[in-house]
Chain A
């Protein structure tokens, strides 16, 4: 399927338009859910870390340090991607599945358009570009949510949190998070596109393809999460 995507576009302008449309759908369309889960993810991480760090010799600012690294290393890229696999993956699979069943893909083929190039490539490129952006936003929002939860619950002050954030910060962790999110973005779009594009049957099969796409994407994300952690850290 991936090999079939690479051919000279029939009309670059329309391919670009399709790519931009997908960027908007994926980026803007998923922002709401990313915003909500990131804030709560950060908040919960702060409270649970505070609950576990009971020793009086550990400074309160360490909570912020743990929250920062947990969010950057794991929660922002992996948890966000798993949620996005549900949101974006099911959308891609059902959209392509519906186009297949209603013969819209055949109609494009008959016109002489490379349907893999026109329908799938912009989705994969857009997901590979926009999911890291969403993960970066999720990272910022998660840390902010952690700070707000810490201050509101009286676990630590804002100054303590900001101090903890700056302690032993490793830029490599951000690189690691981005490497994971690019990989996950590619997995979500390509797996979902594969299942959607190859649907055969009717409405029931579109639903099945959509579910399978999300399940397979999640499993692959978790597998790659482990593999990348083992290789890069």
Chain B
């Protein structure tokens, strides 16, 4: 579990994060959504420690990450896997070597065991056949899958994905979402995804944090989002006519299935807390 307590971050006079608090639960896909410039990427970089927060605390399983020294932070980071927007694969290494790299750096396993683990991970992302290829020789979707394989090779407790679907076709996007969701549940990982993709929001969002101008505007699940009365959130998520109609149909389906009562109750509770 990752807990953010009132974190702020600014660059010069410009305040990017204005006191954000949230809890990212383990075994769940936690999404950070919001328009460009809303502070999502800065927030993720602060959580993983690529940027220092100005004030506030970040807790990894109740350990204060912000107060840790460099050595302790390195230990926490070895439990983190991250999939970058551009995949960030090492150009000079093959797919297999890319996935092997974290193991070579940190694992004390024998070469045979390491190779076996790499094979397992590549098989998990269905890329066993591409093991000997270089990143320049594979497609964007395959690169993302190699990135996922590299991120999970050390069995991380926390998985971060920065725009995992950017630049991918809808079918490949769904495949990546599905893979991330399965891995999250399989290994009980705390997954945090930074996304713009509405498919991801509706299909994978166990827990969603909507950011608006550096603040947490709304928080809930993909089911609650359908019933949300938050105007800013609705303007962002259901921006097109098509999506607004899809929302209404989803609401209708939930009424038919009688699921709406629970959702409505949860939403009312949430609203009354606010």
The 8 closest A-B pairs by CB, nearest first: A112-B77, A103-B88, A107-B88, A112-B74, A112-B78, A103-B84, A110-B82, A11-B105
- Contact-residue bracket for chain B: 20 to 34
> Smallest CB-CB separation from B70: which chain A residue?
A7
> Smallest CB-CB separation from A105: which chain B residue?
B88
Query: Interface residues, chain A, CB within 8 Å of chain B?
Result: 10-11, 13-14, 98, 102-104, 106-107, 109-114
A14 pairs with B82, CB closer than 8 A? no
Known: A11-B106, A14-B104, A14-B105. A110 touches B90 (CB 8 A): no
Instruction: Kindly list chain A residues whose C-beta atoms are within 8 Å of the C-beta of B104.
Output: 11, 13-14
B75, B88, B91: which contacts A106 (Cβ < 8 A)? Answer: B88
Instruction: Kindly list chain A residues whose C-beta atoms are within 8 Å of the C-beta of B48.
Output: 110
Judge whether B102 is part of the interface by a CB distance below 8 angstroms: yes
A107 pairs with B106, CB closer than 8 A? no
Q: Please, how many angstroms separate the alpha-carbon atoms of A82 and B106 in the complex?
A: 39
B105 pairs with A102, CB closer than 8 A? no
19 chain-A/chain-B pairs, Cβ below 8 angstroms: A10-B106, A11-B105, A98-B91, A102-B88, A104-B88, A104-B89, A104-B90, A104-B91, A106-B84, A106-B88, A107-B88, A109-B49, A110-B48, A110-B50, A111-B102, A111-B106, A112-B77, A112-B106, A114-B74
Instruction: Kindly list chain B residues whose C-beta atoms are within 8 Å of the C-beta of A10.
Output: 105-106
Q: Please, how many angstroms separate the alpha-carbon atoms of A106 and B48 in the complex?
A: 10
Instruction: Kindly list chain B residues whose C-beta atoms are within 8 Å of the C-beta of A98.
Output: 91
Judge whether B21 is part of the interface by a CB distance below 8 angstroms: no
Query: Interface residues, chain B, CB within 8 Å of chain A?
Result: 48-50, 73-75, 77-78, 80, 82, 84-86, 88-91, 102, 104-106, 160
**Most B CB within 10 A of own CB, among A14, A107, A113:** A107
B111 → chain A, closest Cβ, in Å?
12
> Smallest CB-CB separation from B73: which chain A residue?
A112
B84 pairs with A107, CB closer than 8 A? yes
Q: Please, how many angstroms separate the alpha-carbon atoms of A113 and B104 in the complex?
A: 12
Q: Please, how many angstroms separate the alpha-carbon atoms of A223 and B73 in the complex?
A: 41
Q: Please, how many angstroms separate the alpha-carbon atoms of A107 and B125 in the complex?
A: 19
B85 pairs with A110, CB closer than 8 A? no
B167 → chain A, closest Cβ, in Å?
14
B87 → chain A, closest Cβ, in Å?
8
Q: Please, how many angstroms separate the alpha-carbon atoms of A107 and B86 in the complex?
A: 11
A106 → chain B, closest Cβ, in Å?
6
**Most B CB within 10 A of own CB, among A102, A109, A111:** A111
Known: A106-B50, A107-B82. A113 touches B88 (CB 8 A): no
**Most B CB within 10 A of own CB, among A98, A102, A112:** A112
Instruction: Kindly list chain A residues whose C-beta atoms are within 8 Å of the C-beta of B50.
Output: 106, 109-110
Q: Please, how many angstroms separate the alpha-carbon atoms of A109 and B76 in the complex?
A: 12
A68 → chain B, closest Cβ, in Å?
41
A192 → chain B, closest Cβ, in Å?
18
Instruction: Kindly list chain B residues whose C-beta atoms are within 8 Å of the C-beta of A110.
Output: 48, 50, 77, 80, 82, 160
